[in-house]
Copies of this chain bind each other. A is one copy, B any other.
Amino acid sequence: MKEKATIRDVAAAAGVSAATVSYVLNGKKKVSEQTRDVVLDVIRRMEYVPDLNARGLSIKDTKLIGVVVPQTEPGSTLMFRNNFYSEILGSIEFHARQNGYHVLISATDVTEDYLNLIRERNLDGVIIIGTYQNEFLSQLNQLDVPVVLVDSYCKYDWFHEIRIDDQKSSYMAARYVLEAGHRKIALVSGILHEDGVMNKRFKGYQEALADFGIPYRPEYVFEGNVDYDSGVDIAGRIAREKVDVTAVVATADIFAIGLIKGFYEMGIRVPEDISIIGFDDLDISAYLTPGLTTIKQHISLKGERAVSLLVQNMADPNMAKVEEVLPVRLVERASVKRMEPEKRR
């Protein structure tokens, strides 16, 4: 590696003072256009790296990572209504910082606009959380920027991917409830998109029922936005419509937390009257009394690995695509009751 040019080298070569070079770069004082052109020419020739933004001009390194967090509704602030996102973002920010990067967050719908953003900001890499349309991913693939998808089942081998085995994890949750003797089991799920994690979790639930010889009943499946309010609402519906279930498999802890509150408000106790198992093991799930039995995924590790893959790929543009499937485990607390055998019908 050759010696890096300093501002003094640039100033000397351009025949101006270092201060003038600064002014050209930061625009804080007026410099004649002629001087400006000379200085910018020297800067390019010497590959001088003056500062983070200027870096973005000539060599592709802005020290900026974009993170896309989905919104459940356009034009809303819902970004953090599911703590999963604040937990993973906290981890991404931390590990990016450790690697000398800053994080630009966007809750925009991922569309053409975001592609422009990546170009305009010269982002060094992008972490995309959740599922987006193949058309968008295909356009994203045209851009020459490392991308890590978190929690997506992209059909194509375009990007790095980090996720858990959602179907198997959901199967574990449903099997646990079945093994505790429950037979009438609702599923509370986010909207079922084809390549999304919710669809996989739905399949895991169906698979577990089938393995226990329990017929699948569509009227036991409740879809909603993945947030607390949906959980409260769905608990209200289950209670008012007297849906005949003894347990609920929630595909997200934030649902489970809302369900517990919703049932509580209807005078239905967890786990005495109805059992609930969650999915995620959010920090806030530990706040509940009694605790939530749930599938623990290592959310902060997802963030850490996403940053690590990006940084690796930025150093080695020809790096092969990596798909990482992180482990999960079931955390047994107190929200699922064992059914007495005679009630297992």
Residues on A close to B: CB < 8 A?
1, 4, 6, 17, 19, 25-28, 33, 49-54, 56-60, 62, 64, 76-81, 83, 86-87, 89-91, 93-94, 97, 102-108, 116-117, 119-122, 142, 144, 228, 257-258, 260-261, 264, 283-284, 286-289, 300
Contacts and interface: CB of A to CB of B under 8 A. Distances in A.
A117 B63 CA distance: 11
A314 to B, nearest CB: 16
Nearest to A58: B27
A290 to B, nearest CB: 8
B51 A122 contact: yes
Which of A1, A25, A87, A287 has the most CB atoms of chain B within a 10 A radius of its CB? A287
A231 B58 CA distance: 50
Nearest to A19: B33
B300 A287 contact: no
A50 to B, nearest CB: 6
Contacts of A17: 33
Contacts of A90: 77-81, 107
A94 B77 contact: yes
B1 A52 contact: no
Given A257-B287, A260-B289, 18 more contacts: A17-B33, A26-B119, A27-B57, A49-B120, A50-B120, A51-B57, A51-B122, A52-B121, A53-B57, A54-B54, A64-B104, A79-B94, A93-B105, A93-B107, A104-B104, A260-B287, A261-B287, A287-B287
